Every structure is written in C-alpha cells, then in structure tokens.
Chains A and B, each alone.
Chain A
Amino acid sequence: MRKILTGLLLLLLVCSAYAQESTHRITGTIKDGGTNTALPAATIQIKGKPRTAVLSDAEGHFAMTLPNQAVVLEISSVGYLTKEFSVDASAVTFDLTLFPDTKQLSNVVVTALGIRKSEKSVTYSTQQVSGAELTRVRTDNLMDALDGKVAGVTISPSASGVGGSAKVILRGSRSAAGGNQPLYVIDGIPMSNASNSNMQPNSTYGGGTNVDGGDGISNLNPDDIESLTVLKGASASALYGSQAANGVIVITTKKGRTGHTQIVYSSSASMDKISYKPQFQNEYGQTAAGATTSWGSKLSTPAANNLSDFFQTGNNFTNSISLSGGSDVAQTYFSYANTSARGVEPGNKLARNNFNFRETGHLLNNRLTVDANINYITQEINNTPGLGLYFNPLTGLYLFPRGLDISPYKTNYAIPDSATPGVPTQNWPFNEDVQQNPWWIVNKNPNDGKRNRVLINASLKYDFNSWLNIQVRGNVDRTADTYEQDLYAGTIGVLSQPNGQFFLTTQTLTQKYGDVLVNFNSPTFSGFKVDGVLGTSITDANTVGITNGPDVNGNYTSPGLFIPNVFLTQNLVTSPTSKAGSNAVTLPNNHNQIQSIFGNVNLSYKDWAYLTLTGRNDWSSNLAFTPNDSYFYPSAGLSVILSQLVKLPAAIDYLKVRGTYAQVGNTVPQYVTNPLTNLGTAGVNLNTTAPFPTLKPEKTKSTELGADFRFLNNRLTFNFTWYKSNTINQFIQVAPSFTTTYAKGYVNAGNIQNSGIEFMLGYDVLRNARFTWNTAVNGSTNKNKVIDVDSKDGINQFVITGNANNSYESILNKGGSYGDIYGVTVQKDAQGRIMMGSSGGPLTNSGFNYIGNPNPKFQLGWNNSFTYRNFSLSFLVDGKFGGQVLSMTQAMLDQYGVSKVSGQARDAGGVKINGVGQNGTAITTADPQTWYTAIGGRAGISGEYVYSASVVRLREAALGYTFPFKPGVIKNLRLSVTGRNLIYFYKKAPYDPELTMSTGNGLSGVDVFNQPATRNFGVNLNVTF
C-alpha cells in the first residue's frame, strides 16, 4: 500500500510541472438568487472550453485562472439556469447570482467519500441537516439533536447522564452479534466512534463498575459542523464497505472563506430538571423494624419526598468562538469551544474543550488543493451514574422504606467503624446487594473518565484538467482514555472488598485511514456523460492499554486493596497469600485492518436518466485464518427524472423515480477465527471456543425504491421511499452442549429482514418579505422480522441479553423481531382469567415468554419554523408509536410496597383482579402485599409490567430575535430562548421509553432504575463580528 501511495504522489508531482502561460487569477462567489445563499458545486468555465472548468466550494467561492484577454464565462449548476458573463482582461473578482430553473431541482447532496452530487442524480434516499439546526437547541450529545428530524432514524439517548452515548439506528437493527450503529464520516474520512474501554452493560444488574463511557461522536464541537447528511440505505454506503453496513452519517465541517474575515461567538446556558418522577405512596410505613419493605401500618404523618433531597438541577454552559478568513491562496478556520455541564444526579459533571484548526490552500494555479485539519479534544466526565441494580444510587433512594427519615443518611453517609479505627464505613440500615446509601455511592464509589483525542486529517487534490483529478487523503484519530473508579472500604461486600477496591484502565485507540481516489468526469457525447471514481483505501485500528484491579479472569470483586482506601495500583492485592503487588492486565489490542479497492461509475443521459454502479472488494484482518478474508460486493442504482421525460400535469414541477439494489459485507469481530489459550491465575486457561475455520462475513442485501415530487412552484416537496434489507450469513454465537468441551462456538446463519417506508413532506406555507412559515413532516415505519436464526442446526433462538436470574431477557427468536422482550407471564384460563395459586399469588407459565417489543412501529416528526421581521420561532413535535417496554423499576417499587399503586390498593382494600381459584371460583380481589410480592420484584412476573412505548412530545422549541445592526464591528447578534423535551402529549409508561440502558444491542426496552429523562430550558447568544 505504501508503495502505491508513493507512486501516485510522484505521478502527481510530474503532472503538475507543466502549464504556465500569460494568465491572471480571478475569484468570486456564486449565490442562489432565490435564497441569497451560497451555491456550492456550480461549474465556472470559459465558454466552449470545458477543460477550464472549476467548481465553487461549499461557501460558493471559486477561484480560476484566465488568460489575459476578454472571455465569456459560462456558469452552470444542476437545477439552475445557466448564465453567461463576459469578463475583461483586468477582472479579478466578481460575484454572481444564479436563479433556480423551476423545472429542476436545486439541492446538492454530499455522498459517500465526500463527493458532492446533484440530488437529481442520486439514486437513493438521503436527508441533510444543517449545522444551524443541530445547534439551535443544544443537546449534550449532538446526535440527540437529530431526534425527530430525519425519517428512518431512531435515536435512543443513554440514560447515563451528561456525556452519555446515543444509540443511533438507521432503518432498524440488522446484526445479531455485530454493531448496529452507523459509520460516522467527517469530510469524507471515517471516524472512530469508540467509547473508552468500558463496554455497554448487557445485564439488568448494570455495567457494575463499568459505566457508559460516552461515544466518539459526542466529542465533537457542533459549532464546527457545516452540515450533516444521513445516508440511510446500504446502497448509499456501499462505497464505505464493511464499516458502513448500518448506514453512514456524513459530516461536513466548516472551513475558511476567501475574502471573508469573520468571528463568531456563541454562548449558551441551559438548565435541566427531571421531567417525571416515580410515583410513591405516602401513607404506609416500614413493614417491621429492620425490614427493607414498606408493607407496614398507616403512618401518622405522610411520608416525605426523598427525591428532592437527591436530584439537583443540571446545567450546561457552552461557549465557543470561531475565526475564519483567507486569501485566494489560503483559507483558515479556527475554533475553540468549552463545555461545562452537570447532571441531575450529584457529582455527575462534564468538562470538554475543543480546539479546531483548518487550513485550505490552492496552489499551482489552483490545480492543487491542500486541506489540513487538526482537532484536539479534552474531556472529563465525573460520576457517570450507574444504571441497573448495582452501583446505582436510585435503588436505595427509591426503595427506602416510606415514613423513615432519609436525611441522616444524606448528611452522615459515612460513619466510624469500631472494628477499623480511622476507616469509616457506610451508614445504611440494609445489607442487600441491590441497594446502598445513595450518597455513599456518589461520594465513596466515584468514577472518573478522562479523554484526550487528536484528530488529524490531510488531503491533497490535484486537477490534471477539467475531467480528471486525483486525491490523496490520510487521517489519524488517536484517543487516549483513562477510567478510574474507587470503591471505599465499607462498600457493600458483594460488590467490593473489605479494604476497598480500585479500577484503573488506561487505553489508547489509534485509527488510521488513507485513501487514493481518482475522479473522472467525461464531456457529453450525444447526450451521454460518464463520471466516477476509482480508489483504494486502508483503515487500521489498534488499541494499547492496561487495566488494573480485576484479576486475569476479569474477576472484579477479588481480591481488593491491601491498605484501606489507598487507590494505587501498587496497593492492589494479587492474591490473599501474597499481600502486595499489583493486578495489571494488558488489554487486547483488537488490531483490525481493512484494505479495499473500490469504484463508482455514473452514467447519465441528457440530465434525465442516471445510472450508478459501485463495486468494492475488502480484505479484512478479522477474517484471517479463513479462506474468506477477501470479499466483493456490488450495487446498482437508477434514477429517472420523469418530469423531463414526459408531460406531467402542470401542478407537478418535478418528479423523480429511483431504485437501487445493493450488497454490503460486514466483517466479524476480532480474534474469533483463531481462538487462543489465555493465562489463568496460576497456569493457562485453555481456549474453550470451538474453532470455526470457514467463518464468512455478514452480508446485507437491500433494495430501495422511491420517488421525489415538487409541486406548486417547488413550494411543496414530497418524497417517498420503500426499502427492504436482509442480513444473512450472520455471525451468531451459540452455546454448544458443554459435553463437547466447548463453552461457546460460532455459526454463520440467520436472516434478519427490515422493511419499511419513509416519507418527507415540506411546504413553504408563506414566503414574503415580513413573514415566512415553513412546515415539514417526516415519517417512517420499520418492520423487523427474524426470518431465521440457525434452523439448519436446530437453533431458533439467539439470546442477546440473558436473564441473569431476573425476569427480563432479550431474545432473537425465529419469527420474532429484533429486541423482543421475554419475561414471566401469568397463567390464564380460557376466559382470560388469571389462575391463582394456593398462596394467593398467580400461577405462572413455565419459562420465559414473549411479552413485547420496544421498537416503534411508526415515527413521525413535525417541524415548523416561522420568521416575522427579526423574530424567529421554531418547534418540533415528534411521536413514536407502537412498541412495548418493561419497567423493572416499577416491579420493584411494587414489591417493596413503596409505589403509589401499592398504597392505593391498600386504601381500596385489595388489588382488583380478574382471577380464578383452583376450585374454579372467581377471585376479584387480592391482598396487596401478597399480590405485589408475587408479581413484583426483579424476578417476578414481568409480564405484568409491560407498558406502551408510544410517546408524543414537544421535542424542542426556540424563539429568537436578531438585533438589527448598521454595518460596524458587530455584524449580527442573535439571542434566543430554547427548550427541549418540554411537554409529553402522550406517555403511558412510568418512564421515558426513548431512554436506553445500553446503546449496544442488549437491554432494549427495559428500565432498571434508569435516571429519569430531563426537561431543558436554555438561552443562546450568537454574535458575528
């Protein structure tokens, strides 16, 4: 690979050595006359000389070299009327406006590899979101700002406080064991979205000491983003190969502009409050002295609200400044952003600094474009809340017996311990694995995640002539993480050690990318045009790290610290018999390399028919040791502009129909093709994974059909897409019979199908000088079906999250769909009555049964923006409809007798049920304690705790005012007030069903003491100098 790169660079230098004559340079800006905004990708050429053509950049700027004589320039752009313009020999700069050709479509789309295409020629569905839309109402994780705005995208924020990850799913989950999140691409180059070494939890107990580490995308400064394009289907992403089987999110960042020096300062402040609380009963006290439950007698005074003692108002202060400017030759963009936030749980904080410097240069008579960019990010997240049953302050807070005073446990969470002088212990009345003193967790089980990240991109592009250029790009993305958690002596024994426990992980992830692209673009031959790209790329990711604390078997509870509460690696005990030393474990490198060659050919005929073909071959190191480490996949797409081909009714300005078929391969995880023996505590632990020498990559086949309409002089737009994808050859882990001596094995099997429709409808309701109103609706459905798991081997189930002896499982079952929740259900007779056992609780069906699926059947977003003079107002309402979620929180609150319903049942003299006794008599009332003790709890009858996941909310709203300024130092000042997650118009579940415990594949649709969702109010100030 290195040899090729060197060779191509040499070629480039040789080619650039010619071409010098009597010339001068001109620069200028091309704008859209309709909207008065910059027009990128317009072609400027000397009339009749296509070889002189140059393109305008993202800001509409262009620069070109002209002979020292008067010429006629021809400026054209897809969807605009072509304009001719005479310039004399002395012209050095000019600005020009193109007007839309109302019979055509104007938008330009950023597609794979950063290539800009006219929307007309794109054969698949894309949707673009501007940077301004991402920052209008700020979110902690910038992906959360997409929620409700893009059809076919489902965003589930992690419930893990500030700095948490987001689960982004495009058109449904498709891989049973692999990742399901999209690839992020910045300026054409893939970015690592890795978290720190903490994995996402996959157990209702939570991640234990490994809390959510935040994802890579949330590290970016949203103010640096020019636009974000979502490429949803596999066909859109075929050119990115293995990493892009789940779709691609292409981010274009800002860069400097010729002749425009601009300073933008923006500042936002917001506050967060929890947007709902669990409902408690306040009348009944502790069952008996020392009991953990609240099934006791009536209280003389109502129980207090313990939640207000704990939750705080969160906030977020973001300040950013950017400077940009430049000459014809070089343009500069610099920005700095500082984010300081705190969560609604005490101690949860985020501090982030982003530095970004970008330099773009045009050399060798504008033939050579050099673009380089460096990003430096520092981030620290403190006390990310644990989710689930362990290390979660909310369990103790919620379950605390009603009527008792919790405040002494807040002020004195640590008390002296007579057995260990000088080493305080936890003050909490119960010894139960699922609860601790909430303030003890916050103060004495602290966690701290630090991240330093450097992203360096460089790109060289050389135009040989108007129809051929070569581009060489490279990128290094280096993320250094440290994660520490200190468990003080006194932490509950099941989770720690008598002298305390300590975890420290340091990890550096380095991802390198390089590619060479040859772009070509033929002149028109009797109506036909051909353009395309051929390229080769290499992606290499490698991790280096050490973790301290757990032993080599990953056992975190053993053996702990030597001297209490001294959190140093050298204080870790390796074994009880040698009381010193350290437990340090080298982390896996997960070295992964993908090499590729790829190509894309676009054939068009007379601007109304477009055919796109792509092909890619990947070589993946993760498939080494198999004969399948090289794999090819093609795609084909066709779009036809019917409105240009046939006469349509006058109301239809534009109609495009499009269709694609694509395959995308997806590699397997590291180290599975050649399982090795590992070191144990004393000797070696032989490999227990069955070898699978013929493992193949996963393959997704997808088909997409759609149409784009424009009516009423382009004021009404509508587009519609139908898609279907099947992911086969899935990499599925199976548990063979232990008698084979293998604990696990892998198979290639499965077929997971996603199909659905998406639509977008936009309407410029009003557009006049004073008042504008723009409204847009997007909607999507997705139907996921597990057609097969591994029926050829008699396996019809794949467990994504095991029950771990609690009543929640997530299972892929043949005939079911991704994310299906399995739980314990009551037995009912033919009349639908609950069959009651002799002890007063219901009888249950054996094993685990299907109880729901959390994925929405239908999503709808409705966006409105108004401007009146200098005021602007926008709001977004979105709804997710269908699906069910499970609340293990509610089940436990009921079992412990602290929930409001448990109190109401006692007030009413029993729980109203439709039951039948063993002798056949109807039972209509059950004793509340017996009933809720039987059905509630983490191992109870979870089928009784299923709720509708439908939720409709006022997602965001912003009211702004732009202060009018005469030309001066300040060019523009805008102030706005914003709100997020303001009103739930419809929500039946006892928590926000959108929140997720894990942004991985597991734990979908379950709430196990998740931090409640928050409601957010903010003020934004934006000043341009």
Chain B
Amino acid sequence: MNIPLTYRALAFISLLGLASCTKKFENFNSSNQGLTSSQFSIGAIYPGIQTAIFGEENAYQLDQNLNADCYSGYMMSPDPFRGNLNNLTYSLVDGWNVQIYSDAYTLVMSDVDYINKAGTATSAPDFWAVALILKVEVMDRVTDKYGPIAYSKVGLSVLSTPYDSQDSVYQQFFSELDTATTNLQTFIATNPGKKPFANYDLIYGGDYTEWLKFANSLRLRLAMHLTKIAPQTAQAQAEKAMAAAGGLLSVPTDDAAISGGGYHNPLFVITTSWTDISMGADVGSIMGGYNDPRLPMYCSPATDSRITGQYVGIRIGSEITAKPGYTGFSTLNPVTCVATGQPMLLMTAAEVWFLKAEAALRGYAGAGTVQTDYETGITTSMQQWGVSSATYLTDASSKPTDYVDPANAANNSPAVETITIKWDGAATNEQQLERIITQKWIAMFPEGQEAWTEFRRTGYPKLFTVVNNNSNGTIDTQTQIRRLAYPQNEYTTNAAAVNAAVTLLGGADNGGTRVWWDVNGPNF
C-alpha cells in the first residue's frame, strides 16, 4: 500500500489505539443469531433434514403438491394459477419445480455432507445409518422426478457437479442401505434398548429397531421400481429386503411419518387457509365407486350447492375459474387426513404388504402368498385410518364411477379404471397387478410422490388424462407426464453437467421423456 508519509505518521499514532480495536471485528461480524459448529451437536442437524423432506407449506406446495400429488390423481388445485398455464395443464413452471432441487441439495445433501465430514461414520455409526436412510429416502424422490441426478459427486466442487445415471444412483442407494442396516444391526445387538437418537428423531422417537424396518422396507420399494428395467436386480434386492434381519414395516405403528418438533402438516394450511388444493377426480371415481370407508377420512364432502355432501373432486387440467369457483368441491379432510398435527406419511406398513403382494406375484422368494399380502395390505390400511368394513374384501362388483363436473361438462369422463376389489386368483397377472397397485394407490394416500412413480411404472390405477394440455406437444395427453424438466438454473450454473445428464436421460429435457426405470413395455 502506498501511503504518503504524513499519513503514515498519523497512522502510527492511531494504530496504537486501533490495533486493539480491530480485534473485535470478528466478533462484530458474527451474527448474534448464528451458531458456531462447537455450539451444537451432530444430532441437532437431523430435525432439519427430516422436516425438509416435505418442508413447510411454502416448500411443500412446490416440492410435491403441485406436481406429484396431482399427477398421481390424488389431488387437483382449485386455484387458476398463472391463468391455468401451470404444471397442472402440463405447462411446466420452472420457478415452481426448482424448489425440490433447492430443498433436496441445500437442506438435505448439504447436511448429510456435513455429518459425513464430521467423521460420524466412525464416531457414531448409528447416527450415520440414519443419515444414509434419510438421504436415500429424499434423493429417491428427486431422481424419480428427474432421472439422472447429481449424487456421488455432490459437495466436492462449488463450480460444477457431474450427474450420475439413474442406474448408478439406484446402485448407490442399495449400497448405502447396506451400510445403514449393518450399522443399525450392530448397534441394536450391542446396545439393546438404547436410544441416543431420541432427542432428534421426528419419525421414530429414536427407536432403531423401527429405523431398521424402515430401511429394509425402503430397499423393497426401490427394488420394485426396477422390475421392468433390471428384473434381476429387482428380484435380488427385494429378496434381500424380505429376508433381512429386523424385518419390514408390518403394522400401522411401524409407519414412517414425520411429526413434532414444531413441524406441522403442510397440507393443512394449503387445504384450509390457502384453499389451494382439493381432491382429485380419480379419488372420487375409484374410492367413491368402491364405497371405500377410508374416503371420509381422506376427504371432506363437497360444499358446492350443486353437489353438496357428495365426494366430487376436480379433474386434472380443468379450466379452473377464479376462486371460489372450485373451492366448494371435495377437499382433503382437515380434521383427519391432513389435520395440522397429523404426521406426514413417508411409508406405511400397508404399502409394504402391497409390495410383497407384487413380489409374490412375480415369484420372488420370501414374499408369502399374493392374496394374503393383498388382503393384509387392505386391512392394515383400514386399521391405520381407524375404519373397518366387513364386506369390502369380498366386494366383487363395485367399480369406479364416471366423473361428472357440475361446473363444466367439458371435464366429464367415463370411469377409466374398471378393476374390482375382491381378489381373484384366476385373473391374469396383469389384472392381478392392476388390483394390487390400485389398492396400494388407495392405501398410500396422500403421499403422491410414490403413487406417481408407481403409476408411471405399472400404468395403474388408470387415471383421468388432463383436460387441457398446454405442453406445446412435448407431453402426450394419453401417455401423461413422465418427469419434470431440470431447473433452468442448472443450465446457467452447471451447464456441462446437466447437458451430459440429458444425454444419459436419452431424450429431450421435458415432461414427455421417460426416466430410466420407466420402460414403455409390458409389466410381465
């Protein structure tokens, strides 16, 4: 620095005083709202990861509610967002769909990275196991939406992160679940009944035996995703899961769900205060047609004077009129299904029974018998929601009903799903699968992400197509949407990597291209 002599003289005097003053600068410039890493334990990071899986209402609405929850047929918005040019008419909104990317990487992958760099894998293998399970749970949601994602190289560079093929991502999932289950088994064996994670756990209150069941069940779910693209891996991983020590989720008390710690069910606010989400037309058609006793638990009857008391949802892609146009149609039930304190379901025991049913149908070892698994799935689900029915399992005649929109006949449609409830061992494999997946779809409500994945993989249940398709020809109305497009931000900040990912994807980066496991071919 070139300072004139006179200043240097003054600086000399002043520095006597200043030298001791600037020492405090680091203190001044450290936020009083902030914590240094010595002020919190590794465990305190986990509630943040768990709440970020679905996020608060602002995040959840964009993460999942305005894509998968509606693409699965579960829900539809009564809000004409962007003049009906939005995700729900296949005009994909980049500003919405970037949210899951932001949340998954900056709130989950970054945290797992921090936990990893803190040496948790060796210092607390049990905590590391939970981190890996959460990581797989979250990133599966991301890869199933997009296809190839950045995974193995995340956090290594602040400039560019290469993407992995979806095949590779799934292999890493299985391998990470191997580590997680081994660590948990070891911990449970050597420290029976100990719950060091209890203070940080919004899912199982620190019970590692439940975490182990969840990890095994997650492996089974991931395995079944691959039945069409990699049948051998699917069978091997599914059999491994079904034979694993610790077992699977089997009764509703095993259900993986997030609650507590100040977190509340985001669907409550979106449904009530915001009136931004309602029941989808398919739910009314299928569950209404089946006289399903779970329907009143899931949804509230319509208040619109034309259909008061009935369960009438909104068909996806409808020309929504300004509120309150469609707000009087059936909504999610804010007292039961999406009550503010209702845990957010990640995976249920009922789903696991249906996964086993499909595994049995495919002849995998250790899956039990198809009919038992199927029927146990239904009864477990009813148990979960506190309802029962003496006749449901034997109902061989009820079928989904036609959809009639009292506000706009252009949305009307005959029922597209025609399968009945009662198990029929003589039916074709395809029909048996249709029955299993349709009941699984009912049981997984309102978790739209997995329902959309399974719809894309199996084609079941058959769902109403969008009324208005504003995709400019990129998404076929009949085939329905297959994925979300990568966020534009990736093209400006990580261009080489995302362009390579599109090559891996094997098609254009739009909603019409199928992801890796989504094979356009028969289920059997």
Contacts and interface: CB of A to CB of B under 8 A. Distances in A.
A, B assembled together = yes
Interface stretch (B43-51, B170-178, B397-405): B43-51
B261 A682 contact: yes
A639 B95 CA distance: 55
Contacts of B17: 1-4
Given A588-B32, A682-B202, A558 B489 contact: no
A679 interface: yes
Given A677-B37, A681-B263, A737 B45 contact: no
Contacts of B35: 676-679, 684
Interface stretch (B125-133, B428-436, B450-458, B491-499): B491-499
Interface in A584-626: 586-589, 591-593, 595, 597, 599, 601, 615, 617, 619-625
Nearest to B161: A739
Interface string A670-698: 11011111111111111110100000000
Interface string A621-662: 111110001001000000000000000000000000000000
B51 A681 contact: yes
Contacts of B11: 597, 617
Contacts, number: 265
Interface stretch (B106-114, B237-245, B278-286): B106-114
Given A678-B34, A683-B48, A684-B48, A740 B25 contact: no
B200 A683 contact: yes
Interface stretch (A148-156, A503-511, A741-749): A741-749
Contacts of B158: 690, 736, 740, 742, 745
Contact of B30 (A574, A587, A676): A676
Nearest to B2: A632
A188 interface: no
A686 B273 contact: no
Interface stretch (A192-200, A273-281, A286-294): A286-294
The CB with the most chain B CB atoms within 10 A, among A592, A676, A734, A739, is that of A739
B409 interface: no
A990 interface: no
B260 A577 contact: yes
A686 B110 contact: yes
Contacts of B18: 1, 595, 619
B493 A671 contact: no
B496 to A, nearest CB: 11
A741 B31 contact: no
A735 interface: yes
A327 B30 CA distance: 51
Interface string A556-596: 01110000000000000011110000000011110111010
B142 to A, nearest CB: 10
A741 B47 contact: no
Given A430-B323, A739-B154, A673 B31 contact: no
A997 to B, nearest CB: 21
A346 interface: no
Nearest to B56: A555
B408 interface: no
B33 interface: yes
A670 B106 contact: no
B44 A683 contact: yes
Interface in A376-400: none
Nearest to B101: A738
A950 B19 CA distance: 53
Given A557-B273, A740-B159, A632 B150 contact: no
Given A292-B322, A576-B341, A743 B273 contact: no
A493 interface: yes
A2 B158 CA distance: 43
Contacts of B495: 794
B259 to A, nearest CB: 8
Contacts of A494: 273-274, 276
A147 B109 CA distance: 52
Given A1-B18, A536-B14, A795 B492 contact: yes
Given A676-B31, A738-B101, A497 B83 contact: no
Given A597-B10, A677-B40, A740 B260 contact: no
Contact of A432 (B6, B28, B323): B323
Interface string B1-31: 1111011001101101110011011101111
B25 A736 contact: no
Nearest to A619: B22
Interface string B446-468: 00000000000000000000000
Contact of B489 (A498, A621, A738): A738
Nearest to A3: B17
Given A676-B36, A678-B34, A803-B95, A593 B261 contact: no
A616 to B, nearest CB: 9
Contacts of B262: 551, 574-575, 681-682
A741 B341 contact: no
Contacts of B273: 493-494, 496-498, 557
Nearest to A5: B17
Contacts of A681: 47, 51, 261-263
Interface in B150-171: 150, 154-155, 157-161
B161 A621 contact: no
Interface string A739-763: 1111101000000000000000000
A347 to B, nearest CB: 25
A629 B18 CA distance: 13
Given A496-B273, A682-B261, A619 B25 contact: yes
Contacts of A365: none
Contacts of A673: 29
Contact of B44 (A624, A684, A741): A684
A688 B93 contact: no
A137 B93 CA distance: 50
B21 A680 contact: no
A4 B11 CA distance: 12
B406 interface: no
Contacts of A940: 83
Contacts of B44: 683-684
A933 interface: yes
A805 B111 contact: no
A674 B30 contact: yes
Interface in A527-560: 534, 536, 538, 551, 553, 555, 557-559
Contacts of A743: 102, 106
A685 B6 CA distance: 50
Given A680-B47, A741-B109, A430 B322 contact: yes
Given A595-B22, A597-B7, A740-B157, A685 B48 contact: yes
Contacts of A576: 264, 268, 340-341
A897 interface: no
B254 interface: no
Interface of A: 1-4, 290-293, 430-432, 493-494, 496-498, 534, 536, 538, 551, 553, 555, 557-559, 574-577, 586-589, 591-593, 595, 597, 599, 601, 615, 617, 619-625, 629, 632, 670-671, 673-688, 690, 734-743, 745, 794-795, 797, 803-805, 933, 937, 939-940
The 6 A-B residue pairs with the shortest CB-CB distance, nearest first, are A676-B34, A682-B261, A493-B273, A682-B47, A681-B262, A741-B110
20 contacts: A493-B275, A494-B274, A497-B273, A536-B10, A577-B340, A588-B31, A591-B32, A597-B10, A599-B4, A617-B11, A619-B25, A671-B31, A676-B35, A679-B33, A683-B200, A739-B105, A739-B161, A804-B95, A805-B82, A940-B83
Given A593-B24, A805-B81, 9 more contacts: A494-B274, A589-B31, A591-B28, A597-B7, A599-B7, A676-B36, A681-B261, A683-B45, A740-B159
Interface of B: 1-4, 6-7, 10-11, 13-14, 16-18, 21-22, 24-26, 28-37, 40, 43-48, 51, 56-58, 81-83, 85, 93, 95-96, 98, 101-102, 104-107, 109-111, 113-114, 150, 154-155, 157-161, 200, 202, 259-264, 268-269, 272-276, 321-325, 327, 340-341, 487, 489-490, 492-495, 497
